[in-house]
Structure 1
């Protein structure tokens, strides 16, 4: 009987795998490669977008910083006599007393509006938003411009207490009174520009003589009234600047010509006692003083032109020249990029005390000039 040979089981290495579906596997591989390519494309586009965004933010920050540096520079001084001639030629008039004072006010107002960056005090966007020094400078210059225009309205353009005030001077005074931080309906810039336009109309009527009611009275009593306001402003600034070191005796020495009635309440609060001005407010006071003295320098140059006969008759030319020299010293360009606040004879200077020294000397000369106008 023939027997069939027994089947020997195959080993694990000898087993045959079932045939694979090559078409199905290649399709999966293609889909996997497409999915990977799309994923890499998304990651690449996301990375490119982030890189572009980072580059854009960096460039914007650099531009903002550069503009902040440029916009923080003090504007150059202008020549009052030249500006007076240009304004008069526009209307075909002639130089009469008062045209230099009005021209100086126009020049200060236009500088606030037309300097690099424009008027920054009410800005809500960078770089004006983060700038601190230039807005304080603008506030100081604006304070002096308001004082000058108010004196023009109440004193210089009126012959006596019961005379009719000039409508153009009144409009300029009212427009300048708006809050400097106002930015919408109406904005401060819009109101200040209208004030400059009103001053130009006053200049036109004064230089051409078209409106006989527009006059400028260059009298000693009118000038004395304006100088009394300047005394208070300078005394207040000197007191606040000297408070940067918290030395009560030094403060009293620098503002020895200022009595309690001539000091503003804010200056009394800062200067009283032995407490120093907080370090983060020192530069604010310093640049406010810089702006005020810059604007006052141009007004004093204009007064020396319009009140030349009065100054000569009172032998007050030297006092006026002393005021101008000290104001020029107070408005010199700064070399240091920051306001230093040293004390004593240390390694670091104290810019506030240097400014206070110039302002105190100018204040003393203003006091002498006012006394000459009243009694000389």
Structure 2
């Protein structure tokens, strides 16, 4: 028998099997079959179908979104706000960063399954990895929009707040688990609309309305917030393996005091039930932050070049990207220290700690004259 005839026979067998499977499914779900088998059999089939559908949807909805292209997303937003072609080659300052915020927010709402943190029905109510990922993204989005409102859009501390960012900021700080009107999704969409309105005003010809100031102190102020967020995340990840640490809350301040007495040593350990929650929140944090920093790299290119800080920012972004590598284990493992099993939390903590150290170096460069 030739190879060609063998392949042809195999193809026919596959086609025949597929037809038989379709015929079998049609027989199972035909009303006549339900009538013949009885009510209990019909209920069992319906329940079985429901469970299979919920499991498949749950797996699909649990997939983390891919990284989007900053330049492509900026051009897409430029089309949405009808930016003239003459301005698309030399984009106004802040347009790329604002577009990144808009796309991060849209991804939060439009990924497979939509926004899941406030779901009250299966399979969303059973999922916890993606809702924790969403919260990590949301916290970074809140910080970024707050920085746009307080720093990037203002020339001085005494200047007036931007009217659209004044709307967007509280919208994204709305309760992340609200499902009855007003829902979280509804408030976040209002925030997206306010960012789009701000984007339009950035690109119009009215010089007195809608600004984004590319200054080293603005970028440094935002990075200070990022530094604290990452420091907290790294500590919670590292606490997956319980350890005792010395209390350094008042280090460097001999006359300092706290509201309540504190022990000299503190035992820190994340609950076994919270290991994967902290891990996926960190994944969402790194995913969103990577997009914001890539956008800021484009908007602040002249400042970074002048401070010779481009490599430092690239190091931060590289550490965040490394934390987004594919997870091949079906479970988030929590091996002890140098034990046999891996500890995914410590691996994630090492990437984010490296990124955080690079942020400290970057802020030092931005502060230099």
- The residue aligned with 1:112 is 108
- Count of residues paired in the alignment: 318
Q: TM-score, normalised by structure 1?
A: 0.81
Task: Name which of 336, 340, 345 aligns with 1:352.
Answer: 345
- The residue aligned with 2:281 is 288
Q: TM-score, normalised by structure 2?
A: 0.82
- Residue correspondence of structure 1 range 309-320 to structure 2 within 5 A: 309-320=302-313
Contact 1:319 1:365 in 2 (8 A): yes
Do structure 1's residue 300 and structure 2's residue 293 form an aligned pair?
Answer: yes
Task: Name which of 57, 62, 69 aligns with 1:79.
Answer: 69
Do structure 1's residue 274 and structure 2's residue 267 form an aligned pair?
Answer: yes
Q: Using the alignment, how far apart are the partners of 2:235 and 2:339 within structure 1?
A: 22
**Offset of 1:347 from its aligned partner?**
2.4
Task: Name which of 342, 355, 358 aligns with 1:362.
Answer: 355
- The residue aligned with 1:138 is 134
**Offset of 1:210 from its aligned partner?**
4.5
| Structure 2 residue matching 1:65: 3-state secondary structure | helix
Contact 1:322 1:362 in 2 (8 A): yes
Task: Name which of 198, 205, 209 aligns with 2:201.
Answer: 205
Q: Using the alignment, how far apart are the partners of 1:107 and 1:180 within structure 2?
A: 18
- The residue aligned with 2:58 is 68
- The residue aligned with 1:240 is 236
**Offset of 1:165 from its aligned partner?**
1.0
**Offset of 1:328 from its aligned partner?**
0.1
Deviations, residues 27-53 of structure 1 (Å, cap 9, x unaligned): xxxxxxxxxxxxxxxxx9796111111
Deviations, residues 9-31 of structure 1 (Å, cap 9, x unaligned): xxxxxxxxxxxxxxxxxxxxxxx
- The residue aligned with 2:44 is 54
Q: Using the alignment, how far apart are the partners of 1:260 and 1:69 within structure 2?
A: 50
Q: Using the alignment, how far apart are the partners of 2:133 and 2:175 within structure 1?
A: 16
Output the aligned Cα RMSD.
Answer: 2.2
**Offset of 1:276 from its aligned partner?**
2.4
- Residue correspondence of structure 1 range 92-107 to structure 2 within 5 A: 92-93=83-84, 94=87, 95-107=91-103
- The residue aligned with 1:228 is 224
Q: Using the alignment, how far apart are the partners of 2:108 and 2:208 within structure 1?
A: 31
Do structure 1's residue 373 and structure 2's residue 362 form an aligned pair?
Answer: no
| Inter-CA distance 248–46: structure 2 relative to 1 (3 Å threshold) | farther
Q: Using the alignment, how far apart are the partners of 1:188 and 1:49 within structure 2?
A: 41
Task: Name which of 79, 99, 106 aligns with 1:89.
Answer: 79
| Structure 2 residue matching 1:274: 3-state secondary structure | strand
Contact 1:297 1:328 in 2 (8 A): yes
Q: Using the alignment, how far apart are the partners of 1:201 and 1:211 within structure 2?
A: 15
| Structure 2 residue matching 1:232: 3-state secondary structure | helix
**Offset of 1:239 from its aligned partner?**
0.2
Q: Using the alignment, how far apart are the partners of 2:216 and 2:349 within structure 1?
A: 28
| Inter-CA distance 210–55: structure 2 relative to 1 (3 Å threshold) | farther
**Offset of 1:81 from its aligned partner?**
1.2
Q: Using the alignment, how far apart are the partners of 2:182 and 2:324 within structure 1?
A: 32
| Structure 2 residue matching 1:166: 3-state secondary structure | coil
| Structure 2 residue matching 1:178: 3-state secondary structure | coil
- Residue correspondence of structure 1 range 29-40 to structure 2 within 5 A: none
Deviations, residues 36-89 of structure 1 (Å, cap 9, x unaligned): xxxxxxxx9796111111110111011111111111111011011111122223
Contact 1:136 1:284 in 2 (8 A): yes
Give structure 1 regions of 4+ aligned residues with deviation exceeding 4 angstroms.
44-47
- The residue aligned with 1:126 is 122
**Offset of 1:230 from its aligned partner?**
0.1
Q: Using the alignment, how far apart are the partners of 1:344 and 1:332 within structure 2?
A: 21
Work out which of the two has the higher radius of gyration on C-alpha atoms and give 1 or 2. Answer: 1
Q: Using the alignment, how far apart are the partners of 2:338 and 2:150 within structure 1?
A: 47
Deviations, residues 176-205 of structure 1 (Å, cap 9, x unaligned): 111001111200000001111111111111
* Consecutive unaligned residues in structure 1, runs of 5 or more: 1-43, 262-268
| Inter-CA distance 354–118: structure 2 relative to 1 (3 Å threshold) | same
Contact 1:205 1:211 in 2 (8 A): no
| Inter-CA distance 189–211: structure 2 relative to 1 (3 Å threshold) | farther
* Consecutive unaligned residues in structure 2, runs of 5 or more: 1-33, 254-261
Contact 1:74 1:333 in 2 (8 A): no
